A and B are shown apart, each in its own frame.
Chain A
Amino acid sequence: MKILRFTKVWLRNYRVWRKNIMATLVGNLGQPFLFLIAMGYGMGRDIESINGLSYLQFIAPGLVASSVMYSAAFETTYGSYTRLSLQKTYEAILMTPLTITDLVLGEIAWGASKGLFSALIMVAALPLFGVWPSPWAIGLIPLLLVSGIFFAALGLIMTALATNYEFFNYFISLIITPLFLFSGIFFPLDSLAPPVQSAFLLLPLPPVVDLSRMLTYGRFEGPLLLKILIPLLSSLITVWLAKVLIERRLIK
């Protein structure tokens, strides 16, 4: 089963993760939960409802989506870069029947799994905050997996380009943090001018935040197909690009 060989890389990462499970959970879930409490409870009490949702209800699905982004992107930047450069794990793996494609798919699948895992824990904890997901929320699994694949692949692209850890500051400050703040997690994007809204639809996180909210509460509107297709397509492209760039990095 050559096509499933990438799972061996996934398994290697899983074995390591199991040893440090608490640390990674705190690391990945801490921030979104703190935002949920601070913004949702603290600030949200004085904010009117948005589209019939309390402020906490409004931001919760987007924070779930953002936890996928953070977990996946951090894993394939700081984690993967350590394996690539410091630990030379990739070089050791390439001395086995595993190919660069296996390696890249394994790393991305792992980053995406970690992202999905944090998201699911968060969804499971939402009732504690009085947020009860609809049955449609099951649809979050494929959606957030695709989003996890995108951000894991994007992180791996950064890893392929990085010459040191400082390089990831660009990625975090210029891509990840702006996406977190301006993807419609904290305020509705439909108040923006229509051309700006269309532009935001092309960014990797806004459609996912939007779809997450719809699935969480079972209320659908807008250009659904487009919002599904864009993350799907952009994931495929970034995975391909990650493979090309990692290959260029490893084989001289």
Chain B
Amino acid sequence: MNPSTDHSPMATDNQPAPPSSSPEEVVVVEDLAKYFGERCAVDSISFRIRPGECVGFLGPNGAGKSTTIKILLGLIRRSEGTIRLLGDEVPRHYQRVIEKIGVVAQDDNLDPDLSVAENLLTYADYFSIPKARARQKTEELLHFFALENRRQEIIENLSGGQRRRLLLARALINEPKLLILDEPTVGLDPQARHLIWERLTILLDQGTTMLLTSHYMDEVARLSNRVLILDRGRIVAQGAPEQLITDLVGLEVFEVDGTDQELDRLTEMFSQCNASLERLRDKLYIYTREDCSRLEHLLGDRRSWLRRPANLEDLFIQLTGRSLRES
């Protein structure tokens, strides 16, 4: 166990290792690493997920989010480390574990040769769910995801949002104890995203444990009790979103546009207040750690500025920087 990368309360338990999980923990990952040749995609990460939690993985491209998830799912072989899912060590007991997991992969992998209902029924058959139960479950899920009137439709005729909902429905066919969602609303319009969030919230309220990756900060903030921020294969921060934002970013953010001289002057003035500043070419970000509204009059005559609560995106940028990550 690497104490510097694992801040979860369970991490300090001194039980014999491995196995060191209490049976109720859904995911226990310790010192997981993956090398592709020389490149280290996942660099000794440890984390745990308790029942009923929704943990969000955040990170720029190439941070190791999808690699970690694919290792958990047995699609990529780990180089080092131990993994326990639902109390069983994987990959050794993978077949037993996967029966209790639902997965929405990043790529749409619905079966385009089958209709909407057949997609669910065929998947149910892969799980050896008895036919009558499968039919009942299929109806329930079609109803839950508002797909009842598309039952016989071929996949090609579904909208992006309908496909994603069907992927989610399919992931739930085996009544999973753990739901793994790799970018569940990528590429969808706001209406479609909200419908999916609403359904995921219902599932969370029912106690489903979730592991979620996303590039959408609002999605993670909305759904997750806890976020893990990954960068270059390491966990750089983890905790409850609001707590992390307050601790690492601050309370509020002022975004100010202006010329160099104007921003220079403001930088000086704002040093009277407990705040950290970030200066870009023609923009100043002020992250306040106390109520700085007394300085707001300084901005009154600026061309454009805004004051808003600090959010997850600020935290994300703070931890992982502003430069593009393109591999």
Contact = CB atoms under 8 A, between A and B. Distances in A.
Contact of A95 (B105, B111, B128): B105
Interface in A95-109: 95-99
Contact of A93 (B77, B95, B126): B126
A161 B80 CA distance: 28
Contacts, number: 67
B112 interface: yes
Interface stretch (B16-24, B117-125, B267-275, B291-299): B117-125
Interface stretch (B68-76, B205-213, B315-323): B68-76
A11 interface: yes
Interface in A68-121: 87-89, 91-99
B153 interface: no
B126 A97 contact: yes
A251 interface: yes
Nearest to B102: A95
B109 A88 contact: yes
Contacts of A94: 73-75
A92 B127 contact: no
Interface in A208-233: none
A178 to B, nearest CB: 32
A105 to B, nearest CB: 14
Given A16-B114, A88-B107, A95 B73 contact: yes
A252 B127 contact: no
B128 A92 contact: no
Contacts of A5: 128
A8 B118 contact: no
A144 B297 CA distance: 88
B38 interface: no
A97 B103 contact: no
The SS class assigned to the B binding surface is loop
A252 B126 contact: no
A250 interface: yes
B98 A97 contact: yes
Nearest to A89: B111
B107 A91 contact: yes
A25 B106 CA distance: 36
Nearest to A90: B109
Contact of B77 (A12, A89, A252): A252
Given A88-B109, A92-B105, A97 B99 contact: yes
Contacts of B74: 94, 251
B95 A97 contact: yes
5 contacts: A88-B109, A91-B109, A92-B110, A97-B126, A251-B75
Q: Shortest 7 CB-CB distances between A and B: which pairs? A: A88-B109, A96-B126, A92-B109, A16-B113, A95-B103, A252-B76, A97-B99
